Amino acid sequence: MENAPAQKVVDPDIFDQHRMRDQQVLETGDTVTYEDVILNQAGEQTWYEVAKSRIQDPVTGDPAVLLMARDITERKETQQQLADALWLCKRSALSTV
């Protein structure tokens, strides 16, 4: 039976960005927090708030990166709705002047 070709999980450029952040966390010990968006195969966006921190591996004692992410898609959609409503209010106010 033939194996199916491996699918890319992460674009190489994006992988390099993540690797650079991991390296920064390992070198400085600082926690890095940022927002990231993932597109599924249907083109739908899922937004994440990501925090990366340096920890010590309890088995080997080596430094490691702990990644915590939470889905903030609903918050991002609400922010966009508020921005759209504000734009409409400003546009409406300008048209009555």
CA angle 49, 55, 60 (to 5 degrees): 135
What are the tens digits of pLDDT across the range 4-47? 555 556 678 888 999 999 999 999 999 999 999 988 889 899 99
What does each C-alpha distance from 7 to 2, 4, 11, 43, 68 come to in angstroms?
15, 9, 10, 17, 24
Q: Could you tell me the two tokens for 51?
A: 């925090």
User: What's the rounded Cα separation, in Å, for the pair 90 and 55?
Assistant: 48
User: What's the rounded Cα separation, in Å, for the pair 94 and 6?
Assistant: 54
> Looking at residue 3, what is its pLDDT?
63
